Amino acid sequence: MTELLTGRDLYKSFGLTEALRGACIGVRSGEIVAVMGPSGCGKSTLLHCLAGILRPDAGEVHFAGQRIDHLPDLQRARLRRTTFGFVFQFGQLVPELPVIENIALPLRLAGQNRRTAVAAADAWLHRLDLDGLGARLPGELSGGQGQRVALARALVANPRIVFADEPTGSLDSFAADQMMELLVDAARVQGTSVIVVTHEARVAAHADRTVLIRDGVHELQVGAA
Amino acid sequence: MTVSYALLALLEGAARHGYDLKQSYDRRFAATKPIQFGQVYRTLAQLVRAGRAEVLGVEAGAGPDRKRYAITAEGVTDLDAWLSEPEQPQPLLQSVLFTKVVLALMSGRPAQRFLGAQRATHLAAMKRLTRARRSASSTQDVLLADFQLFHIEADLRWIDHTESRLAALAEEVRDDRAADRP
């Protein structure tokens, strides 16, 4: 199967610190890949380069057959908004907006009218076990609920791929398992690819394949035996 | 040891035949390796000899053993004491990993390669267990998988930790080896 997303020989430095030193990775359509490694190994930088948030100093990123790392900022921003979904460690929900509006946000930014966007968001409340929480503000949610809202927001626009950066980093093990099960189930149903960065083996175990990063390069790949 | 207490606990619910006990034991505790009938009957005989269980009667019917067993008051006391007693941690696998790392360093073999291979094996095992956990039909099966996952995860943390201190360990092992020489 051809790769949906490919990073080849990626290099990225911040001042004198080399975060990536020739990292390579590929994600197939519908595949769930974990990127794992110790703190400071470059795994988040790799994710940001793949998602078009950062531009690598050298190397190439291809998405759906198109090279995207050298696209102008505006085009990369559009790609992120329309085709990619994101989940971060602390949700990064808009604190002033109720849950339902937070989930609907990607659809509103893509130009959908409020009614359609909210209806789509409402369906996700039920899918992610968030019934009855639509009117709450993010500050009124538990950590696990907040991350599930972030997951709903990442998936509501039916992205081709979801980038998740330590999505369970702020959760206890029970909430983390629940979050990963929902992420995997939803991705499977939608055929969405997922690339999840984590330092936790227990989280990575939910993925089809795990890529270990060490000192800015890929070291080892582990699939389910 | 654990089997005898498990059988006592199952008997505490109701008097039962050996066959029923095996079925109940397997359903709860033997996901991968069912207990043998022979072990069930041997254990029951030991419990009866020790006064912790008794035979209520022998019933006619098919099968090799139609004895009905019940727990005794002494058995209940013993079970209660066992359940109240904390277990000592048993880091058995970890000590094997530790020994392999030290022996690799002592013999000039690449300990890092061993740790890397062990990490890959552990990660693959975690993926298998996570899949099994997702398809588990009961909370008991989920928690059994969780138990194994957390232990493997602890090993992995030790592997990462050791790898980051491998140079210091190699130096120590070299010094020890020099001191060992006649």
Q: Extract the residue ranges of chain A whose pLDDT is less than 70.
A: 1, 224-225
Partners of residue A179 in chain B, C-beta under 8 Å:
none
Q: Cα B45 from chain centroid?
A: 23
Task: Give Dmax (Cα) for chain A.
Answer: 50
- Provide the pLDDT for residue B83: 85
Closest C-alpha among A100, A99, A147 to residue A120: A100
- Number of C-beta neighbours around residue A44 at 10 A: 21
Check B124 against A222: CB less than 8 A apart: yes
Is A43 or B85 the better-scoring residue by pLDDT?
Answer: A43
- Provide the pLDDT for residue A52: 94
Reported confidence tier of residue B2, pLDDT bands at 50, 70, 90? confident
Reported confidence tier of residue B100, pLDDT bands at 50, 70, 90? confident
Check A225 against B126: CB less than 8 A apart: no
- Tokens 């990775």, located at residue: A25
Partners of residue A39 in chain B, C-beta under 8 Å:
none
Best mutation target among B121, B127, B128 (most A Cβ atoms within 10 Å) is: B127
Q: Determine the length of chain B.
A: 182
Closest C-alpha among A188, A186, A214, A189 to residue A199: A214
Contact A191, A4 (CB under 8 A): no
Q: With an 8 Å Cβ cutoff, is B151 touching chain A? A: no
Please state which CATH number belongs to domain B2-84.
1.10.10.10
Which residue in chain A is spatially nearest to B148 when comparing CA positions? A202
Contacts of B134 (CB under 8 A, 6+ apart): A181
Span B113-170, pLDDT tens digits? 888 889 999 999 999 999 999 998 889 889 989 999 999 999 999 998 998 898 888 8
Rounded Cα distance, A110 and A80, in Å: 11
Contact A36, A204 (CB under 8 A): yes
Rounded Cα distance, B87 and B90, in Å: 9
Contact A170, A88 (CB under 8 A): no
CA-to-CA separations, B52 to A53, A160, B80, B85, B110, in angstroms, rounded: 68, 63, 12, 18, 53
Check A204 against B134: CB less than 8 A apart: no
The helix (run of H) or strand (run of E) holding residue B164 is helix B139-164
Check B116 against A219: CB less than 8 A apart: yes
Q: With an 8 Å Cβ cutoff, is A183 touching chain B? A: no
Q: With an 8 Å Cβ cutoff, is B123 touching chain A? A: yes
CA Rg value for chain A: 17
Reported confidence tier of residue B65, pLDDT bands at 50, 70, 90? low
Contact B166, B114 (CB under 8 A): no
Partners of residue B134 in chain A, C-beta under 8 Å:
181
The helix (run of H) or strand (run of E) holding residue B150 is helix B139-164
* ipTM of this complex: 0.80
The residues in B 20-59 lying below 8 A from A, measured between CB atoms, are: none
Check B124 against A224: CB less than 8 A apart: yes
Check A220 against B120: CB less than 8 A apart: yes
Between helix B18-29 and helix B37-49 the angle, nearest 10°, is 110
Strand order in the sheet with B16-17: B16-17, B67-71, B53-58
Whether the per-residue pLDDT at B174 is higher than 90: the answer is: no
Check A210 against B123: CB less than 8 A apart: yes
DSSP A40: T
- The mean pLDDT value of chain A amounts to 91
Best mutation target among A202, A208, A212 (most B Cβ atoms within 10 Å) is: A202
- Provide the pLDDT for residue B64: 60
- Number of C-beta neighbours around residue A125 at 10 A: 19
B121/chain A closest Cα distance in angstroms: 8
DSSP string, A90-119: T----TTS-HHHHHHHHHHHTT--HHHHHH
Closest C-alpha among A217, A168, A214, A192 to residue A40: A214
CA-to-CA separations, B8 to B4, B29, B54, B59, B114, in angstroms, rounded: 6, 14, 11, 21, 43
